[in-house]
Amino acid sequence: MALRDCLLISFLAISAMAQLSSASLKAGYYQSICPAAENIVRHTVNKAIARNPGLGAGLIRMHFHDCFVRGCDASVLLDSTAENPSEKQHPANNPSLQGFEVIDEAKAIVEAHCPSIVSCSDILAFAARDSAFNLGRIYYTVPAGRRDGRVSIEDEVSQNLPRPTSNAQELEKNFLQKGLSLDEMVTLSGAHSIGVSHCSSFSTRLYSFNATHPQDPSMDRAFVAYLKTRCPRPSNAKSNTDPTVPLEVGTPNRLDNTYYKTLRHHKGLLTSDQTLFTSPSTAKLVRKNTKHNSEWGMKFAAAMVRMGSIDVLTGTQGEIRKNCRVVNW
Ligand code: HEM
Ligand SMILES: *[C@@H]1O[C@H](CO)[C@@H](O)[C@H](O)[C@H]1NC(C)=O
């Protein structure tokens, strides 16, 4: 192939992808314009996690759901209005996404210190970082200067977020569309080392897998039996409830590489977890991540920074929201 064609193809491939603009974000962005900002967020997040460790998981997930839909622009924080159902309302976020009050509290204190300076999208990026430190001693600097979007559309969620039923190829494609590599996809999935899942996100694996197998053969049998005691059969009339179980059986409040070890034991909760070990393209990355927790932690930190720069608004784009739940007047 001629070099020119090759360049053309790579140009087309790149322009179809999300923009990772870490270059336009700056570490220490608020140092001179609102020096208390990062401390306020950290303090608020630590206080919330001390009360309920699940909120740390919620904040990390919230940052991911923000960045994958319209970029990291705090679109996930906007409430629905009478005319417009927002991202929040989508079943991937409602009712499972948690931690909104933590962001509200941090924003209120930050606004009292320096009104209209610090964006909700930066507060969320800081809060996710502070959660990773609190629960996993994983530390990284968050380049900041994001601005907040004015648009949030429920229907855009399913087009952009990966599904818990996805296989490795689908997950790879989804992350690639956001400019993240296969390795980064596997690394970031390690966030499922903390937090919980509702039974509805994986119950087909237990009760109605396919025509020949009622349960997913890639799941450890004892694990299936245990999960059945926690999750009622979806067809049960009395089961209007949707209980939650830890995403990782071992240490659900500890952000570490134990997640990858559970995959090797066929105890991944979601299809999108277990597929990382079942699929040859990702199995070796899973194996590598089981070896050294600190190496995985450093890769996780770097991947969070990259995820945090997807399609960001900067400069004069967007706005600095006053209230993270509504666009400015
Ligand atoms: C690889 C594709 C991914 C899929 C398909 C996926 C899907 C899911 C699902 C279905 C849940 C449970 C929701 C529920 O039923 O309550 C969940 C929880 C969670 N996800 Fe993911 N996720 C993915 C990647 C990520 C990434 C990249 C992160 C962050 C870096 C992340 C962080 C979390 C956290 C922390 C929780 C627990 C939330 C809580 O306890 O409140 N996930 N995810
Ligand atoms: C059911 O799943 C198993 C394991 O993935 C597979 O081998 C089998 O072909 C599937 N059967 C049908 C009918 O799809």
Please compute the mean of the pLDDT values over residues 248-254 and round it to a whole number. 91
Q: Is the CB of 72 under 6 A from ligand 1?
A: no
Q: Is the CB of 201 under 6 A from ligand 1?
A: yes
CA of 210 to the centre of ligand 2 (A): 6
Q: Is the CB of 217 under 6 A from ligand 2?
A: yes
Please compute the mean of the pLDDT values over residues 113-135 and round it to a whole number. 99
pLDDT grade for 18, boundaries at 50, 70 and 90: confident
Q: Name the closest-CA residue to atom 34, ligand 1.
A: 61
Strands 244-246, 196-198: pairing kind: antiparallel
Residue 162 annotated in ligand binding: yes
Helix or strand run (H / E) with residue 295: helix 293-307
Helix or strand run (H / E) with residue 98: none
Which tens digit of pLDDT belongs to each residue from 172-226?
999 999 999 999 999 999 999 999 999 999 999 999 999 999 999 999 999 999 9
Which tens digit of pLDDT belongs to each residue from 29-55?
999 999 999 999 999 999 999 999 999
Q: Which of 43, 63, 65, 198 is catalytic?
A: 65
Polymer length in residues for the chain: 329
**Is pLDDT at 15 greater than 80 in this prediction?**
no
Could you say which DSSP state residue 198 is in? E
pLDDT value at residue 238 = 62
**Is pLDDT at 13 greater than 80 in this prediction?**
no
- Nearest ligand 2 atom to the CA of 210 is 1
Range in 6-15, 18-27, 299-308, 311-320 with the lowest mean pLDDT: 6-15
Which residue would you say has higher pLDDT here, 241 or 99? 99
Q: What is the DSSP string of 233-293?
A: -TT-TT-----EEESSSS-TTS-STHHHHHHHTT--SSHHHHHHHHSHHHHHHHHHHHH-H
- Residue 262: name the closest of 242, 292, 296, 290 by CA: 290
- Nearest ligand 2 atom to the CA of 213 is 1
Q: Is the CB of 272 under 6 A from ligand 1?
A: yes
Q: Determine whether 292 is an active site residue.
A: no
- Give CA–CA dist 290/29, Å, rounded: 35
pLDDT grade for 2, boundaries at 50, 70 and 90: very low
The answer to whether 65 touches 154, Cβ cutoff 8 Å, is no
pLDDT grade for 17, boundaries at 50, 70 and 90: low
Please give the domain boundaries of the chain with CATH numbers for all domains: 187-300 (1.10.420.10)
Helix or strand run (H / E) with residue 197: strand 196-198
Residue 164 annotated in ligand binding: no
**Is pLDDT at 10 greater than 70 in this prediction?**
no
Residue 212 annotated in ligand binding: no
What are residue 119's phi and psi, to 5 degrees? -75, 155
CA of 271 to the centre of ligand 2 (A): 14
Beta bridge partners of 196: 246
User: Where are any strands of DSSP class E within 119-224?
Assistant: 196-198
Tokens of 78: 């906007």
Q: Is the CB of 129 under 6 A from ligand 1?
A: no
**Amino acid code (one letter) for 290:** T
Q: Is the CB of 262 under 6 A from ligand 1?
A: no
Please compute the mean of the pLDDT values over residues 119-126 and round it to a whole number. 99
- Give CA–CA dist 66/75, Å, rounded: 6
- Give CA–CA dist 113/304, Å, rounded: 28
Residue 5 annotated in ligand binding: no
pLDDT value at residue 22 = 63
Could you say which DSSP state residue 128 is in? H
- Give CA–CA dist 320/126, Å, rounded: 16
Residue 179 annotated in ligand binding: no
In this structure, the number of other CB atoms found within 10 A of the CB of residue 22 comes to 14
Q: Name the closest-CA residue to atom 3, ligand 2.
A: 213
CA of 209 to the centre of ligand 2 (A): 8
| Through-space distance between the first and last CA atoms of the chain, rounded to whole angstroms | 54
CA of 149 to the centre of ligand 1 (A): 23
Residues 6+ positions from 142 with CB-CB distance below 8 Å: 27, 122, 125, 126, 129, 305, 308
- In the chain, what are the helix, strand and coil shares in percent, each to the nearest 5? 50, 5, 45
Range in 11-15, 79-83, 94-98, 234-238 with the lowest mean pLDDT: 11-15
Write the secondary structure of 220-245 as one string of H (helix), E (strand) and C (coil): CHHHHHHHHHHCCCCCCCCCCCCCEE
CA of 195 to the centre of ligand 1 (A): 8
In the Cβ-directed half-sphere of 160, how many Cα atoms lie within 13 Å? 25
Tokens of 245: 């179980």
Q: Name the closest-CA residue to atom 13, ligand 2.
A: 211
